[in-house]
Amino acid sequence: MTLEQQITALVKNAVKALYDLDATDAQIQLQKTRPEFEGNITLVVFPFVKLARKAPQAVAQEIGEKLKADGSGLIAEFNAVQGFLNLTVSDAFWVEQLKAIDADGHYGRFKHPNGKCPNGKCENDQTVHPLMMVEYSSPNTNKPLHLGHVRNNLLGYSIAKIQEANGWNVVKTNIVNDRGIHICKSMLAWLKYGNGETPETSGKKGDHLIGDYYVRFDKEYKAQIAELMAAGKDEETAKREAPLMIEAQEMLRKWEANDPEVRALWAKMNEWVYAGFDETYKRMGVSFDKIYYESNTYLEGKSEVEKGLASGAFYRREDGSVWADLTKDGLDEKLLLRSDGTSVYMTQDIGTAKLRFQDYPIDKMVYVVGNEQEYHFKVLSILLDRLGFPFGKELVHFSYGMVELPNGKMKSREGTVVDADDLMDKMVADAKEIFLQKSNSDSGLTAKRSVSDSGLSGEAGLTSDDIARMVGLGALKYFILKVDPRKNMLFNPAESIDFNGNTGPFIQYTYARIRSVLRKAEETLGNLGTLETIETLDPKELTLIQRLTEYPAAVRTAGDEFSPAVICNYAYALACEFNSFYHDLSILNEPDERKKSLRLLLSANVAKVLRSAMALLGIEMPERM
């Protein structure tokens, strides 16, 4: 039973005895005590004032006295401030909360918002968990993943893990953009300029190789535009009449007509790209339960558009193109099929949504897509509803901000993107370099005492390169995820890997510090001992225990808000709290065995919760640093 539930029960008994009132849960309003007042939790007493026929201050005082004297020992002290009763919970209660943290760092039972129990924590094994599908990544097969994809993948994966912790069954899904004019541009450039080059002959990952030809197409295309403009054409005409663009459009028409040569080339080049993507995803630590391909879903979309055309939901223009008139919905008109019969992104998204809801009993569909696509998903929701799909209005677009660099935005056609593989290489290399520089000195954390086994230390089955990888990628992931996802962000690699402040390496180092203490305890004590009753806690101990018990609320909030940043903020606050505790109080050298056992258990549980929280962010925690 949570603290709030226990206090609610006690308040019901108190107001029944004092005022003969059968209070409801809605009448018992509890909130965190404001920092300027002493206490842990505050009861709002105004709902009981009218029946008691007394002043708010008097009612608060009477209820406080009753709660303290009820014999449970839960309430140690109280203070009444007008209509607010500030309650101080006994140290014994907090010790019991500390002992209740399980091996996974969980405290209590996470509750799903609609009342269903979370996975693995159900009283009733027959409970049916709601199903959420989270779509993220959505790469194009004409280029490798870049920094923008990194934020998308990290957000999508973390949101899925957080929602699983909140009780959802989650299906992680990806839609691969493997068709369209942009794919044909890479294919055409490879045919014209590739001389049969392959990933094996070039020594490049397949996605990087194909990305080079996408850039090459743009370079040659711009040269043709310049030539046409020099010959007197205006820019728009030159873009339309450039031979490369005409050939690419013809290739797309052949692809949709199932031309065997075009399809064979497309399949071969896509396989190169998929192999490259798989390497990047594995290294990034993200995964998918189901992958859809636009080359399959666009036909479903075209079929639905044709049905909508027949029913009058859409209309055809004189040039043969098909449109949806959304002006009554406050939007404009939307193209669904081009005049040559080829489909657009919206068409294939309609088909993808249809297939997904056929494949899974989805309760909530979440699209993790950048905020530049907000209009797109407004339109998609309306069109699905207009086509008669009951899930149309329930789609959730998780709109996140863009990642910017100190020198501006990325442009993939010009080859100026920050490649995801190169970025991860740099982060790991930087981590290793920092370790080498600091291997014989304190890392500069808040706590002043260094850990004797700090420095880049290997352990059984784990090399120094493994630890550098954990720290480098942990720095990247944490820096990306700690920012409010709805805001644009500036990515600075140097700031992300700093061992001071709100960074992943700071939290990883704190965890490694705790594990060092626990290893020493096991060597000297054999085990952590059994925690006996402690009547009085040191303020540092109490504050740290209270911070630990806030973890379930942080997970719930992160799930409600779809915000991994909430978990980052919690983990950072917990790490700071532990370092303050570690700095001020002795653990291994504490002469009182009861206090030593308490502090060891407290340290062990901080490590468990830090590891659990960082796992929700997809971040590994090294046992030594």
Tell the CATH topology of 3-89: Gyrase A; domain 2 (3.30.1360)
Strands 131-135, 41-44: pairing is unpaired
CB of 119 closer than 8 Å to CB of 133: no
Q: 276-304: b or e for each residue (b if 16 or more CB lie within 10 Å)?
A: bbeebbeebbbebeeebbbbebbebbbeb
Averaged confidence pLDDT in the chain? 88
Record the tokens describing residue 10, joined without a space. 């006690």
How does DSSP assign 541-598, residue by residue?
Answer: HHHHHHHHTTHHHHHHHHHHHT-HHHHHHHHHHHHHHHHHHHHHS-STT-S-HHHHHH
Q: What is the mean pLDDT of residues 11-26?
A: 94
d(CA 407, CA 418): 11
Record the tokens describing residue 467, joined without a space. 């630890």
Q: Looking at residue 413, what is its pLDDT?
A: 43
Q: What is the mean pLDDT of residues 413-438?
A: 81
Q: Which residue has the tokens 């918002």?
A: 113
What's phi and psi for 5, nearest 5 deg?
A: -65, -40
Q: What is the mean pLDDT of residues 165-184?
A: 95
- 443 band by pLDDT with thresholds 50, 70 and 90: very low
What's phi and psi for 419, nearest 5 deg?
A: -70, 135
d(CA 41, CA 549): 13
Q: Looking at residue 500, what is its pLDDT?
A: 84
Q: Looking at residue 129, what is its pLDDT?
A: 77
Q: What is the mean pLDDT of residues 598-608?
A: 94
Q: 81-106: b or e for each residue (b if 16 or more CB lie within 10 Å)?
A: bebbbbbbbbbbbbbebbeebeeebb
Q: Looking at residue 115, what is its pLDDT?
A: 43
Which CATH number is associated with domain 420-616?
A: 1.10.730.10
How does DSSP assign 93-116, residue by residue?
Answer: HHHHHHHT--TTS--S----TTSP
Q: What is the mean pLDDT of residues 425-438?
A: 86
Q: How many CB atoms lie within 10 A of CB 156?
A: 26
Q: Looking at residue 444, what is its pLDDT?
A: 45
H/E element, 121:
none
Q: Looking at residue 144, what is its pLDDT?
A: 94
Apex 381 CA angle, 375 and 386, nearest 5: 125
- 271 band by pLDDT with thresholds 50, 70 and 90: very high
Give per-residue pLDDT as tens, 62-73.
999 999 998 788
Share of the chain above pLDDT 70, in %: 88
Of the two residues 99 and 367, the one the predictor is more confident about is: 367
d(CA 599, CA 615): 24
Give 130-177+289-418's CATH code, choosing from 3.30.70.250, 3.40.50.720, 3.40.50.620, 3.90.550.10. 3.40.50.620
Residues spanned by CATH 3.30.1360.70 within the chain?
Answer: 3-89
d(CA 244, CA 188): 8
Residue 266, pLDDT above cutoff 80: yes
d(CA 615, CA 199): 34
Q: Of 62, 352, 30, 414, which is closest to residue 221 (Cα–Cα)?
A: 414
d(CA 491, CA 205): 25
Q: What is the mean pLDDT of residues 530-557?
A: 86
Q: Of 156, 163, 157, which is closest to residue 132 (Cα–Cα)?
A: 163
pTM: 0.87
CA torsion sign for 580, 583, 587, 590 is negative
- Residues pairing with 368 in the sheet: 398
The residues, any chain, with a CB within 8 Å of residue 84's CB and separated by 6 or more, are: 42, 43, 44, 45, 60
Q: Which residue has the tokens 């919970």?
A: 89
- 118 band by pLDDT with thresholds 50, 70 and 90: very low
Q: Looking at residue 624, what is its pLDDT?
A: 87
d(CA 157, CA 5): 33
Alpha-carbon distances, residue 2 vs 38, 101, 202, 217, 579 (angstroms)? 21, 12, 61, 62, 27
Of the two residues 172 and 417, the one the predictor is more confident about is: 172
Q: How far is CA 216 from the centre of its chain?
A: 35
Q: Report helix, strand and coil shares of the chain as percent, to nearest 5.
A: 55, 10, 35
Give per-residue pLDDT as tens, 121-141.
444 444 567 999 999 999 999
- 407 band by pLDDT with thresholds 50, 70 and 90: low
d(CA 297, CA 355): 7
Record the tokens describing residue 376, joined without a space. 């797109």
Of the two residues 172 and 536, the one the predictor is more confident about is: 172
Give per-residue pLDDT as tens, 328-354.
999 999 999 999 888 888 999 999 999
Residues spanned by CATH 1.10.730.10 within the chain?
Answer: 420-616
Q: How many CB atoms lie within 10 A of CB 38?
A: 12
For the chain, the C-alpha Rg in angstroms (whole number) is: 30
CB of 538 closer than 8 Å to CB of 602: no
Per DSSP, 175 falls in state E
Residue 448, pLDDT above cutoff 70: no
What's phi and psi for 404, nearest 5 deg?
A: -115, 160
Strands 131-135, 403-404: pairing is unpaired
d(CA 165, CA 160): 9
- 109 band by pLDDT with thresholds 50, 70 and 90: very low
Residue 457, pLDDT above cutoff 60: no
> 23-32, 322-331, 448-457, 496-505: which range is least confident on average?
448-457
Q: Looking at residue 126, what is its pLDDT?
A: 43
d(CA 53, CA 35): 30
Report the helix count and the strand count for the chain, using DSSP H and E: 22, 14
Q: How many CB atoms lie within 10 A of CB 134?
A: 29
Record the tokens describing residue 235, joined without a space. 């820019």
Give per-residue pLDDT as tens, 186-198.
999 999 999 999 9
Of the two residues 354 and 456, the one the predictor is more confident about is: 354
Residues spanned by CATH 3.40.50.620 within the chain?
Answer: 130-177+289-418
